[in-house]
Amino acid sequence: MRPKYLRCDRDAKGAERWYYRRPGSPQIRLPGGPKHPDFDRAYAAARNGIRLFSKGQEKPVRVEKRPAPKAPRHTRLRAGYVYFLRIGDTIKIGYSADPFNRISNLRTAIPGKVDSFLAVPGTRHDERHCHDQLAKYRIEREWFHAHPAVTRAMARATVYGVGDAFDVPPSDPHCPKTTFAQCNQ
């Protein structure tokens, strides 16, 4: 039976190279193979985090713990604004750190008059959440049909924030049932 955490690789000439590696610790090369006279001693030392060199010298291996897992991506995102831009029968849902600069850039690229613009504090994760929740109304990428469900989500976002706009029960008396206020742009 093969001892735990052992791996055997072959070099370019076909010679065996044996390694010990426990999850979360560095890989330690062991001498020869299981039939080598020092193999058992080196394996026992490796299990205790000690690397044996060919001259019999022992040197502790600096065991580096794996870094703690990173926070979920959405918590590391920079806060900005999720914006809703209505042009005719379409609504663009996007994210920007500076929504007013973004709207001025979009005006030059989009034909048609901007009917309304709404910016609510949020993150890219909130924007993606909006896109996921409203996927059945998507035209293409960030553009959606101006369906009552989309405008209702926009109105709820002004009251509850973008992240909670879809978790509000429709019977909530504070929940806006109509579209958001129109802004002259």
| Model pLDDT, residue 15 | 85
**Residue that wins the pLDDT comparison between 21 and 75:** 21
pLDDT tens per residue across span 104-144:
888 777 777 888 888 888 888 888 888 988 999 999 989 99
Owner of token pair 């010679």: 15
47-61, 121-135, 139-153: which has the minimum mean pLDDT? 47-61
Range of the domain at 129: 73-160
Cα Rg of the chain, angstroms:
30
Co-location of 156 and 93 in the same domain: yes
- Please report, as a single letter, which amino acid is at residue 14: G
Whether residue 181 lies inside any domain: the answer is no
Is pLDDT at 173 greater than 90 in this prediction? no
In a domain, 165, yes or no: no
CB atoms within 10 A of CB 127: 21
Q: 104 with 147, same domain? A: yes
Q: Are residues 93 and 137 in the same domain?
A: yes
Residue 65 is assigned to a structural domain of this protein: no
Position with higher pLDDT, 55 vs 97? 97
Give the total number of structural domains in the chain: 2
Same domain for 35 and 98, yes or no, is no
Token pair belonging to 147: 């369906």
Residue 165's nearest CA partner among 138, 134, 136, 142 is: 134
Identify whether 116 is part of a domain: yes
Q: Are 81 and 49 in a shared domain? A: no
